[in-house]
Amino acid sequence: MTAEVGLRERKKAATRAALAGAANRLAVELGVEHVTVEAIAAAADVSPRTFHNYFSSREEAIVASIIDWAERLTDEIEARPADEPIWDSLLAVFLGSVEDGAAAHARMMAQIEMVLAHPSVIANQLAALDTMRRRFAEVVAVRTGTDTSRDLYPHLIAGGAGLAFKTAVDIWAAGPPERSLHELVADGFAQIRNGLPQPGR
């Protein structure tokens, strides 16, 4: 029974990932306004009814990869050594999740342009990012012995890490990049970790 449940969950996860990937790819290639649920379902080789078992709208599917990415990162954070400082754990998993180089830069530019062109996608992206922040806060709370229901600390760490990462990506994507994305992310984490000291003039 356990094996059957595990197989079923893996198939569901694979279907969700296929739908999310198809939705995002079509949105970048065609523009969100030209993407339909039927087209996404066809690209993932499932029915529109199956699509609605996973997502309520095309916009939700387009940004679903953010939540999936956050889940992978939280799993990796949980797997880090228990005695490792939380900022070291966060930096390691964030750096391990990004790509540098011209091809990665072009993909990121296309993603950002697609999102910014459609307010409905922006709204769904913000919701996905907030879900990611809350999930990170839960992991930070477990690692640091804090409580998300009463302590600011896990929320501030999760929010700070997410903001540092997003800011680094935004600067890198605005290009042409003078520094690699890895360098920018590491710098952002270091500045927040050090209390954001004011730069010298």
Q: Which residue in the block uniquely carries the two structure tokens 């990004």?
A: 98
For the chain, counts of helices (H) and of strands (E): 10, 0
Global confidence as pTM: 0.80
Question: Domains plus CATH for the chain?
Answer: 1-58 (1.10.10), 63-196 (1.10.357.10)
How many Å separate Cα 189 from the centre of its chain?
17
Environment class of 128 (CB within 10 Å of its CB; exposed 0-12, middle 13-18, buried 19+):
buried
pLDDT per residue of the chain (201 residues) written in tens, 0 to 9? 666 667 888 899 899 999 999 999 999 999 889 999 999 999 999 999 999 999 999 999 998 887 888 888 889 999 999 899 999 999 999 999 888 887 887 888 888 888 888 888 888 888 888 888 999 999 999 999 999 999 999 999 999 999 999 999 888 888 777 888 999 999 999 999 999 888 876
- Quick check: bond before 199 cis, omega within 30? no
